Structure 1
C-alpha cells in the first residue's frame, strides 16, 4: 500500500494520540481514519435502499494491521 505524508499541528496530533490510546501519531491517525471510514460504511449500509445493496455487496473489508 502506498504511504502518504501529511503535516498536523502538534496539539492536534497529541489529542489524536490520546483519543486513540497510542504512542505514535502515525498509528493514531491511521486508527482514527480507519474507524471513520468503517463508521461511514456501516451508516451507508443501514440507510441505503434495497437497490444499493448490490453495490455494497462487492466491497471487501479492509484488513487491519496490529
Structure 2
C-alpha cells in the first residue's frame, strides 16, 4: 500500500466521521453552542468533501508491485 492510498483511506474514514457528526448534529437541532440546524451543515459538507476525495484517491491510485 503506497502513501497516496493510505492517505485516501484516512480521508475516507474522516469523511465518514464528519458525515455522521453533521447528520447527528442536524437531527439534534445544532451542535452544542450552535445557532441553529443550518450550522450543522458545515461538518456534513466537509465530511462529504473528505469522503469523496478519499474515495477518489483510493480508486485512481495504482498499486506498485
TM-score range, shorter chain: 0.3 to 0.5
- Output the TM-score relative to the length of structure 2: 0.47
Task: Please identify the structure whose Cα radius of gyration is greater.
Answer: 1
